[in-house]
């Protein structure tokens, strides 16, 4: 099992090119099940979750021509499409549930395994199922699988999500494209990745319109047309490198991403002392000599502070001046990195959904264990700012969502090496 060997401390300097967004690519790839015509997707990140999704689409009968060097894929419908999604394909990835909507919308049935992924919370699928039920889908859960069917084409309806859910919003947008009549989705997630999905589908002939801040109107169409589309840059990768520069007194030019999409996080980094210059598709960021604390910070749905950057900011606050508190409101089990940060010398206490971080920690290298995707990268950042040698185990979590992480870090001055054992 691969691991990272990191020798710190490092001061990161140079240029970083941001890869395509995993969280944008996955629903777009799932939506290709709606098409009768070829689809070309560009700027795909070379990460494990994308490989898993492409394998899933292949297993359903789609022809997948993946050009890894060019970060692009061509997907072509075959004559025979299957509607069974095996547990073996979705056990490591939550996004497997996203094929449920398009399969039922296009082929009127699906048997799909309940999803896997990171162990950071329940993330129930009932929002997806109850919403699709309003469009005419019926289902039962048996043996860990969702057995879904619809007697006829899905029917447009009004759906209000009881809680903001990125995945459920995506699933319903995709399914509603081929539904009969109009669908109104209320209390939708508004992450940039969802806007990317709607732009892709509209380019293919879908009729999706935002009619309020969190309200979408979708007028069903009979079919979607051939399309070529380039995925947006990954805002979590961008945010992670911004934190890395701030943490290590670094100086980075981060390219290939729209800074407006992480405006909240950039404001926070300015508060802790980072010097930031923003351009159209570039962020220049220089870390301070002393990191200031932020007394209280709460994760919340976009456009507020992203839960996927919570662990990275916690590492930053460990080095800050004074006490900081982070309240995690999205997932109930997202402080799994705290125990590992303590091994490096962090002083963090947990009270319910709050982490109280005492600043001024002097990290010393240690052997660490990754627990999920974003926690893993937080441990990498901590190791980069620690004195001495650290080993990070179970980095397969990182490979799910960060493209060429060790290569990108080496290019900007990190002493990091992948070990195969």
Pair 253, 18: CB distance under 8 Å:
no
- Is 354 a residue whose pLDDT tops 70? yes
Of 91, 132, 107, nearest to 35 by C-alpha is: 107
Domain finish residue from 175, 201, 230: 230
Domain co-membership, 278 together with 375: yes
Domain co-membership, 254 together with 279: yes
For residue 70, the 8-state DSSP code is T
**pLDDT tier, 114 (very low <50, low <70, confident <90, very high otherwise):** confident
Domain co-membership, 262 together with 148: no
Domain co-membership, 112 together with 243: no
Domain co-membership, 274 together with 392: yes
Domain co-membership, 263 together with 311: yes
Domain co-membership, 161 together with 172: yes
Pair 324, 293: CB distance under 8 Å:
yes
Domain co-membership, 101 together with 124: yes
Residue with tokens 């009968």: 61
Domain finish residue from 230, 253, 288: 230
User: Residue 118 has what pLDDT?
Assistant: 42
Active-site residue flag, 238: no
User: Residue 93 has what pLDDT?
Assistant: 79
Bridge partners (DSSP) of residue 15 are 253
In 3-state terms the chain splits into helix, strand, coil percentages (rounded to 5) of: 35, 30, 35
Domain co-membership, 200 together with 335: no
Length of the chain: 421
Bridge partners (DSSP) of residue 18 are none
Q: Which of 118, 238, 242, 318 is catalytic?
A: 118
Average pLDDT in the chain:
95
- pTM value is 0.96
User: Residue 123 has what pLDDT?
Assistant: 52
- Is 320 a residue whose pLDDT tops 80? yes
Return the CATH number at 6.
Answer: 3.65.10.10
Domain co-membership, 209 together with 242: no
**b (16+ CB within 10 A) / e for 114-133:** bbebbebeebebebbbebbb
Domain co-membership, 263 together with 332: yes
**pLDDT tier, 117 (very low <50, low <70, confident <90, very high otherwise):** very low
What range does the domain containing 152 cover?
22-230
Domain finish residue from 189, 207, 230: 230
CA distance 46 to 42: 11
Interval 228-266: pLDDT, tens: 999 999 999 999 999 999 999 999 999 999 999 999 999
* Averaged pLDDT for residues 93-111: 93
Count of the separate structural domains present in the chain: 2
Of 300, 248, 255, nearest to 273 by C-alpha is: 248
Domain co-membership, 63 together with 167: yes
């Amino acid at each position: 099992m691969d691991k990272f060997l990191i020798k710190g401390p490092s001061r990161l300097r140079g240029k970083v090119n941001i890869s395509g967004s995993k969280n944008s690519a996955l629903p777009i790839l799932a939506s290709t099940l709606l098409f009768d015509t070829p689809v070309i997707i560009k700027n795909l990140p070379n990460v494990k979750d994308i490989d898993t999704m492409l394998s899933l689409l292949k297993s359903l009968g789609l022809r997948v021509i993946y050009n890894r060097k060019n970060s692009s894929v061509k997907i072509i419908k075959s004559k025979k499409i299957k509607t069974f999604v095996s547990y073996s394909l979705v056990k490591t990835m939550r996004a497997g549930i996203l094929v449920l909507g398009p399969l039922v919308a296009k082929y009127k049935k699906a048997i799909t395994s309940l999803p896997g992924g990171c162990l950071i919370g329940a993330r129930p699928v009932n929002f997806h199922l109850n919403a699709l039920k309003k469009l005419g889908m019926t289902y039962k859960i048996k043996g860990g699988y969702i057995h879904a069917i619809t007697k006829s084409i899905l029917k447009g309806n009004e759906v209000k999500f009881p809680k903001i859910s990125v995945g459920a919003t995506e699933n319903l947008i995709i399914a509603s494209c081929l539904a009969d009549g109009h669908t109104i989705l209320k209390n939708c997630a508004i992450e940039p990745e969802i806007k990317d999905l709607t732009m892709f589908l509209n380019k293919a002939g879908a009729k999706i319109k935002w009619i309020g801040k969190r309200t979408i109107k979708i007028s069903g169409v009979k079919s979607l047309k051939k399309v070529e589309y380039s995925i947006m840059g990954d805002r979590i990768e961008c945010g992670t490198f911004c934190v890395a520069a701030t943490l290590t007194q670094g100086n980075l030019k981060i390219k290939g991403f729209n800074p407006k999409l992480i405006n909240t996080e950039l404001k926070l980094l300015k508060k802790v002392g980072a010097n930031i210059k923003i351009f159209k598709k570039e962020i220049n960021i220089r870390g301070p000599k002393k990191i200031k604390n932020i007394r209280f910070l709460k994760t919340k749905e976009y456009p507020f502070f992203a839960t996927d950057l919570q662990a990275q900011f916690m590492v930053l606050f460990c080095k800050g001046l004074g006490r900081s508190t982070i309240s995690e409101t999205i997932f109930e089990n997202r402080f799994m990195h705290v125990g590992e940060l303590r091994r490096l010398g962090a002083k963090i206490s947990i009270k319910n959904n709050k982490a109280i971080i005492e600043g001024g920690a002097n990290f010393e290298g240690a052997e660490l264990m990754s627990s999920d995707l974003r926690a893993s990268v937080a441990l990498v950042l901590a190791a980069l700012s620690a004195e001495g040698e650290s080993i990070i185990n179970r980095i397969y979590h990182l490979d799910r969502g960060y493209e060429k992480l060790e290569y990108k870090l080496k290019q900007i001055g990190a002493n990091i090496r992948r070990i195969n054992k």
